[in-house]
Amino acid sequence: MDGYFQVVTTAGGERYLHLSTFGSDTRVREPKSSQSLQLNEQMAQELVDALREVFPGLK
């Protein structure tokens, strides 16, 4: 799986973390986004908390 992220800022100044994943490199057709998530600050904090719970060694 391949993926990328970017920061999206709305006209009102809200920032979102936009995550996209793509199918495998062996996909028959051209790469196409498989999943896409946009996280605001609150959801990003929940994700960080969950990651730290699962992987306590993270900084």
In terms of pLDDT, which residue wins out, 49 or 27? 49
Cβ proximity of 58 and 51 under 8 Å? yes
Length, in residues, of the chain: 59
**Residue 34: what pLDDT?**
77
Query: 29-48: per-residue pLDDT in tens?
Result: 666 677 899 999 999 999 99
Q: In the predicted model, what is the mean pLDDT of residues 19-31? A: 73
If you write DSSP's letter for every residue of the chain in order, what string do you get?
Answer: -EEEEEEEE-TTS-EEEEEEEE--TT-SSPP-EEEEEEE-HHHHHHHHHHHHHH-TT--
Q: What is the pTM of this model?
A: 0.71
**Percentage above 70 pLDDT, the chain:** 83
**Residue 27: what pLDDT?**
60
Instruction: Point out which residues pair with 16 in neighbouring strands.
Output: 8
